[in-house]
A and B are shown apart, each in its own frame.
Chain A
Amino acid sequence: MEIDSCTLKAVSSSPSEKIHLRPMTLSDIDDFMVWATDINVTRFCTWEPCTSREAGIAYINSFVLPHPWLRAICLDDDRAIGSISVTPVDSIRGEIGYVIGSKYWGKGIATEAVRLVAAEIFKEKPEMERLEALVDVDNIGSQKVLEKVGFVREGVMRKFMCLKGNVRDMVMFSFLPSDSLL
């Protein structure tokens, strides 16, 4: 895998899909709308589906562009089919999050994107001691992604956070700089 400062490339485990990561821009708005309006995609996200192109543009401007570390997940044609981000929790912890358009589920794409980030993020952020992920207990697909990459399932945190008005149990996963990628 070659890495430059902005683009991470890899061949995903599924033969037909090659993905790379790059910064998102406003010109990704129409591709963004494909996953952001999809209620299946947003089911375990804290946010509601996007309702208009204007709202999508506002979201990209206010949240995506200023984000400290967020990348579009792209196929060969450089079109964004989802995004992945690492958000600081504090000075030593970062939380990974990712979203993929439902048409692309089940192909190993999220797994490859998470693997790419877990492989590189500690070099980019040497102060990070822990990369963690919080996944809804019912979101089995996302739990499998993290397990396939090599994240450690630390336990179920009961009544941990409010998701769309409901208090949810969340599974906590972590990956350390010393851990091995699977």
Chain B
Amino acid sequence: MEMDSNETQPKVVVSSPARRISLRQMTLSDVDHYMVWATDAKVAQFCSWEPCTSREEAITYITDSVLTHPWLRAICLEDDRPIGYILIMAVDDIRKEIGYVLARKYWGKGFATEAVRLVTAEIFKEMPEIERLEALVDVDNMGSQRVLEKVGFTREGVMRNLIIMKGSVRDMVMFSFLPSDPLK
């Protein structure tokens, strides 16, 4: 599976073995699909952002934050329809953090697990300097904790009072995956 980030066309570049989902660059033409999850308060519950309130706001956000992101991929169904996205953020020279969001209609079907597994399988080849891929999940976000456990991330512990999320101080569970770890 190749990961190719320099094309102008959003071609399908990575597919899961079951062929259920694929990852590709997002574009402005994805805005209406983006709105489906971005306006949903349940989806936004454990995210740092507030639900999106207008198509104009969505276009601005996609232009300013999504298209400029160093590593962000739409999670697409077989018909190339985005149902969420997954991204990698640099923490420092050796650590990267993974994050993902999925429209609520597609929760509970293993799509996020597939997307995380796909990215985890490839990211260390694409970024050989990474020593550690980590994820921080709200203690109450059981669904997202299950995703990481199913892929084979190690649950390292609960970091208490770690971040302020929408005005509240939250405990977060730290997970990690190393290049030497086996994928489940």
Show the binding face of A for B, using Cβ within 8 Å: 91-93, 129-130, 132, 152, 154-162, 167, 172, 174, 176
Contact = CB atoms under 8 A, between A and B. Distances in A.
Given A159-B176, A159-B178, A167-B94, A152 B160 contact: yes
A91 B164 CA distance: 9
A160 B132 contact: yes
B174 A129 contact: no
Contacts of B93: 162
Interface size class of B (residues with CB under 8 A): 20 to 34
Interface in B121-164: 131-132, 154, 156-164
Contact of A154 (B92, B95, B157, B176): B157
Contacts of A157: 156, 174, 176
A155 B162 contact: no
A158 B132 contact: yes
Contact of A174 (B92, B94, B160): B160
Contact of B157 (A93, A129, A155): A155
Nearest to B93: A162
30 contacts: A92-B161, A129-B164, A129-B169, A130-B160, A130-B161, A152-B160, A154-B156, A154-B157, A154-B160, A154-B174, A156-B156, A156-B157, A157-B156, A157-B174, A157-B176, A158-B132, A158-B156, A158-B176, A158-B178, A159-B95, A159-B132, A159-B178, A160-B132, A161-B92, A162-B94, A167-B132, A172-B157, A172-B159, A172-B174, A176-B161
Contacts of A158: 132, 154, 156, 176, 178
A157 B92 CA distance: 15
Contacts of B95: 159-160
A158 B130 CA distance: 13
A92 B165 CA distance: 12
B159 A174 contact: yes
